[in-house]
Amino acid sequence: MNTAVTPPPALIDALQAIVGKDKVKLGEDDLRVFGKDWTTVYPPNPSVIVFPATTEQVQALVRLANEQSLALVPSGGRTGLSGGAMASNGEIVVAFDAMNRISDFDGVDRTVKCQAGVITEQLQIYADEQGLFYPVDFASSGSSQIGGNISTNAGGIKVIKYGMTRDWVAGLTVVTGKGEILSLNNGLLKNNAGYDLRQLFIGAEGTLGFITEATLRLTRKPIELTALVLGVPDLAAIMEVLNIFQNKIDLTAFEFFSDKAMEKVIAHSKLRRPFETPAAFYALLEFEKSNDEVEDLAMELFEFCVERGWVIDGVMSQSIEQLNNLWRLREDISETISRWMPYKNDISTVISKVPDFLEEVELLVNQQYPDFEIIWFGHIGDGNVHLNILKPDELDKETFFQQCADVSYRVFELVEKYHGSVSAEHGVGLIKKDYLKYSRSAEEIVLMKQLKSLFDPNGIMNPGKIFD
């Protein structure tokens, strides 16, 4: 148990002089809420929470931290799953909730500027009002923030068509660990004038500096999105379905989940099974039904997959309500299983190797802990799967996480065997830093540490995250 840290009055005065008296919080509830993310392994223990409103205020906070050797932890929507926003050692939490303005929309360039605290859904709604579309989307879009999305290079459900967050970042304003303000790329589509420093800060989890503003690209709205949920007998069949549909239809999403995952969602919601025929796994395909020919082609491909034995049964959405309900079967999984305090692993490999990879992982966990229940789901269309191990009710939290940590090393050995990633989209943070070596070479890690020292020589920016 970490001892609570009480900041000296002089520090509180200095922080209030920068952000304002009402933007410095010391209450127990504030410390608990803003000092953590969605991980439950580490208890929050920040010293104080500050809410800057401008890039200049962030710069002043970083300069103060350098002068007084203070550690800063960034806090966005606090939806992370790797402990990247955990403040467990008396750090000052820099919360970006007050930096939530959208500005500088340009309909020709199809770009918009967002402060770091803009909620993902806020941007999606804004884009829709301009007749455009921001495609980076995930279950936490109603609470995640743009700065956090960029700092973890968030992916989500539409990567198969639209790519990761980094593909939509046209420019960044950052405050480095030295307290320098950098304006990177200036919204340019083509810019080959030397190193693209913007890309270094995307996915860096606030360890090099804090993102304060981003210029983001928008695109056209999709036309009549339609979903198919297909029951499949095994993982190999899912890949056959992906291959057949992807070669004929421009998919916007291709997700999968196990029957066990759907059982949990059905039991804790008013949703119904998409069809009565049981299946071991389900694939959710989304595409634009721009005309009747696309719908007819989708049905032809469905029938072809049924004939080959790759699909057992299926359903196609016929309305927005049905589309949303089919998506809920997938997107409600994380919230539904949260009551079991799941041990989560966000892992990936190349798409073609996913079935063999998943089978080996499941065999490994079942052999070591046969009483643990495994819930699978993920963005299988881009090789990213989520392993969730549910805590048995009779097992205490500490023992459960220790047992899961023991098996994690062997899971990540499999990740290394398949040349995959120990963190496909949630970052490294505290949870994954001991496993970084399974995805990055020793030479890469040395270079990462050198970059950290270059941008943050005093080690004040989100210390202890990614590596020590």
Domain that holds residue 302: 225-331
In a domain, 89, yes or no: yes
CATH number at residue 33: 3.30.43.10
pTM equals 0.93
Q: Are 405 and 42 in contact (CB under 8 A)?
A: no
In a domain, 4, yes or no: no
The number of distinct structural domains making up the chain is 4
Q: Look up residue 12 and give its amino acid.
A: I
Residues in CB range of 418: below 8 A, 6 or more apart = 349, 350, 353, 356, 357
CA 322 – CA 329 distance, rounded (Å): 11
- Residues 134, 137, 143, 147: is their CA dihedral positive or negative? negative
The pLDDT, as a whole number, for residue 2 is: 64
Of 280, 308, 331, at which residue does a domain stop?
A: 331
Q: Are 151 and 205 in contact (CB under 8 A)?
A: yes
pLDDT at 419 over 60: yes
Residue that the structure tokens 């606030």 belong to = 206
Q: Look up residue 203 and give its amino acid.
A: G
In a domain, 259, yes or no: yes
**Average pLDDT taken over every residue of the chain:** 94
Separation in Å, CA 218 to CA 136, 162, 211, 346, 385: 10, 11, 19, 27, 27
Angle, helices 397-417/354-368, rounded to nearest 10 degrees: 140
Separation in Å, CA 153 to CA 156, 159, 163, 165, 411: 10, 11, 10, 5, 23
Q: Are 62 and 98 in contact (CB under 8 A)?
A: no
CA 150 – CA 203 distance, rounded (Å): 6
| One domain, residues 241 and 323 | yes
In a domain, 445, yes or no: no
First-to-final CA distance of the chain: 20
| One domain, residues 116 and 204 | yes
Of 54, 81, 98, at which residue does a domain stop?
A: 98
pLDDT tens for 127-144 read: 999 999 999 998 889 999
The pLDDT, as a whole number, for residue 70 is: 98
| One domain, residues 114 and 209 | yes
Residue 250: what are its φ and ψ, rounded to 5°? Answer: -80, 95
The closest of 111, 106, 78 to 94, measured between CA atoms, is: 78
| One domain, residues 215 and 240 | no
The pLDDT, as a whole number, for residue 160 is: 95
In a domain, 51, yes or no: yes
In a domain, 275, yes or no: yes
CATH number at residue 266: 3.30.70.2190
The closest of 341, 59, 8, 322 to 209, measured between CA atoms, is: 59
| One domain, residues 197 and 108 | yes
Q: Are 82 and 464 in contact (CB under 8 A)?
A: no
In a domain, 440, yes or no: no
CATH number at residue 174: 3.30.465.10
Length of the chain: 468
Q: Are 460 and 79 in contact (CB under 8 A)?
A: no
pLDDT tens for 362-376 read: 899 888 888 899 999
Strand partners, 95: 75
Query: Any idea which of 81-95, 115-129, 387-401 has the lowest mean pLDDT?
Result: 387-401
| One domain, residues 113 and 49 | no
State percent of the chain over pLDDT 90: 87
pLDDT tens for 33-88 read: 999 998 878 899 999 999 999 999 999 999 999 999 999 999 999 998 899 999 99
| One domain, residues 373 and 410 | yes
pLDDT tens for 145-183 read: 999 999 999 998 999 999 999 999 999 999 999 999 999
The pLDDT, as a whole number, for residue 5 is: 80
Strand partners, 266: none
Q: Look up residue 124 and give its amino acid.
A: Q
Higher confidence at residue 2 or residue 78?
78
Q: Residue 377 has which token pair?
A: 């789901």
Q: Are 121 and 79 in contact (CB under 8 A)?
A: no
Q: Are 64 and 18 in contact (CB under 8 A)?
A: yes
Of 168, 194, 220, at which residue does a domain stop?
A: 220
| One domain, residues 195 and 269 | no
The closest of 64, 57, 73 to 12, measured between CA atoms, is: 64
In a domain, 438, yes or no: no
| One domain, residues 133 and 216 | yes
Q: What is the mean pLDDT of residues 396-400?
A: 90
| One domain, residues 189 and 158 | yes
| One domain, residues 215 and 252 | no
| One domain, residues 265 and 288 | yes
pLDDT tens for 236-289 read: 999 999 999 999 999 999 999 999 999 999 999 989 999 999 999 999 999 999
